[in-house]
Structure 1
Amino acid sequence: MDKYQQQVALELQFWKLEVMKKPSLVGNIATKVQGKINSYIPQKVHHVITETIKQMVKAVLFGSEITSSNLSPKEMSLLHKEALVKSKIDSYCKTGAAEGGITGAGGFLMSMADFPILIAIKIKLLYEIAALYGYDASDFRERLYILHIFQLAFSSKKGSQKVLEQMENWDKKLFLLPENGDQFDWQTFQQEYRDYIDLAKLAQLLPVVGAAVGAVANYQLIKKLGKTAMMSYRMRKFNNEMIR
């Protein structure tokens, strides 16, 4: 293990400890606030968001319209791979921020349209990251892993801890994974994701400040997803090396 891999392994351990920490008082309050805010949102808005996320999940599991780039060469070093991954994340953060600023400035209807656009940007990024780490997203089981990364990034503290436990030693569980998406719990997935992003995105619907909020929210959401993806693939790398 070279110096960079040692550094990465240490970062991974700190990250896992952070994920598994008990929810803070602030986190618990935020959850209660989220529930209160949700009660004031019109049911039609809830329905639109729920259906959008549901269709996104189906597209990832069954669709072929989202394709990844070529896989990185096996001999490429982790340092080189992650330099490319970080560059890709930065590029997608800027794209998401620009898109969020435009839709935020356009008022309620355009801000609602931002949800499916942002989801598409995030999923495309995950496909790109998977390829850079050497994983083929055309494999259904890799798409399941991508969805777990999504859940890990945008779930409650308790939900994230449960997902992380499911992702540990993923490659040892491949034979246990479903061959199709019928068994995937998309209901829990969309609920956790929607609840997580609502606080960050609802302010985008406000006049005047919507553009600025939309740009910042999208940037931070994509940045968080990118970091979670990096840590998730690092975890697979080190788990696989331990198996060997």
Structure 2
Amino acid sequence: MHESETREALLRELEVVNKWADDQKGLWFWEKLGRIPFMILDRITPQMVHNKIGQALDEIGSYIQKGGSYLTSEKEVVKRFTKRTDNPHLTVEDIANLAISDMDEVSEGIVGMRKKVAMTQGATTGIGGFLTLSIDIPFILGISLKTLQEIAISYGYDPNDQQERIFIIKCLQFVSSDIVGKQAILQELSDFNKKDMEKREQTLSQLQGWREVMVSFRDNFGWKKLFQMIPIAGILFGSFINKSMISDIGETGRMLYRKRRILEKLEEGRTSEI
């Protein structure tokens, strides 16, 4: 535990995360209708577009097993902490011992940067309407995974570890789930810190259906992406939708990883008191 963090301070930080989790129990009406427009979109989208999306989904599925092309580099994230600590030899393991406030600031900066990239991409692909969705959807899936990995590193977790990639996919699934799904995922991840291999194996088993997770994520675009199909006007819609998507993913990743790190620091504090 960082020397400037007291147990009381960590508990206050934990309360912030728990309040956020409680707020997730609500579900906007239009989110419930999110799949309907995509059913229409599926019918009018050329087979070539479907094939490219399917290929992207296959590549992302391999991420769980070996990271693949979506495995991010930790160097850029570590460099952000190096500037803050003046420690040129900082590692991901060292980051875990820094203050939560440092982790929060770095992760927030990362999400802000990724939102700008997503906005630019959404505006660019919005020019061509639905034909450019074959480019935009794989892109937003990829940048979502990279953002979550960078958040993981920001809180001292290594996405090279397969267990962390499972946690990242669960974060991604959380964003696209309905109210029942969100509650179930929050319950699953609440035990993720514990060295309970049976629970870990159950989570891994659930992720064998990763394609359903990714299809659900794609469907979450729903009516929002339907508006991006309008040529030219799609520039504004594409930019806003992508920014909103990364914002939601960034918030989810930061809160769930933040909670894990706070709980671990509290546990370390209890252990040191014994």
Same fold (TM over 0.5): yes
Find out whether 1:52 has 2:56 as its counterpart.
Answer: yes
Of 177, 180, 185, the match for 1:155: 177
After superposition, give the CA deviation of every residue in 1:65-90 in whole Å (9 maximum; x if it has no partner).
Answer: 32331425343211111111111110
1:41 is paired with a residue whose SS is: helix
Find out whether 1:11 has 2:33 as its counterpart.
Answer: no
Of 194, 204, 212, the match for 1:172: 194
Where does 1:61-76 land on structure 2 (aligned, <5 Å)?
Answer: 61-65=65-69, 66-69=71-74, 70=78, 71=92, 73-76=95-98
TM-score (norm 2): 0.77
The equivalent residue for 2:87 is none
1:53–1:190 contact (8 Å) kept in structure 2: yes
Structure-1 separation of matches of 2:16 and 2:152: 19
Where does 1:213-224 land on structure 2 (aligned, <5 Å)?
Answer: 213-224=237-248
Per-residue deviation at 1:234? Answer: 1.8
Per-residue deviation at 1:122? Answer: 1.2
Per-residue deviation at 1:64? Answer: 3.8
The equivalent residue for 1:239 is 263
Structure-1 separation of matches of 2:109 and 2:140: 19
Instruction: Compute the RMSD of aligned alpha carbons.
Output: 2.7
1:172 is paired with a residue whose SS is: coil
1:118–1:218 contact (8 Å) kept in structure 2: yes
Stretches of structure 1 lacking an aligned partner (at least 5 in a row)? none
Count of residues in correspondence between the two structures: 239
Per-residue deviation at 1:162? Answer: 1.3
1:169–1:239 contact (8 Å) kept in structure 2: no
Compare 211-220 and 8-17 and name the one that shifted more.
8-17
The equivalent residue for 2:218 is 194
Per-residue deviation at 1:189? Answer: 0.7
The equivalent residue for 2:86 is none
% of aligned pairs identical?
Answer: 24
Of 217, 227, 232, the match for 2:251: 227
Structure 1 residues 166 and 116: alpha-carbon distance in aligned structure 2, compared to 1, 3 A threshold: same
Structure 1 residues 30 and 220: alpha-carbon distance in aligned structure 2, compared to 1, 3 A threshold: closer
Stretches of structure 2 lacking an aligned partner (at least 5 in a row)? 79-91
TM-score (norm 1): 0.85
2:158 is paired with a residue whose SS is: coil
2:73 is paired with a residue whose SS is: coil
The equivalent residue for 2:37 is 37
The equivalent residue for 2:154 is 132
2:220 is paired with a residue whose SS is: helix
1:109 is paired with a residue whose SS is: helix
Q: Which amino acid aligns with 1:202?
A: L
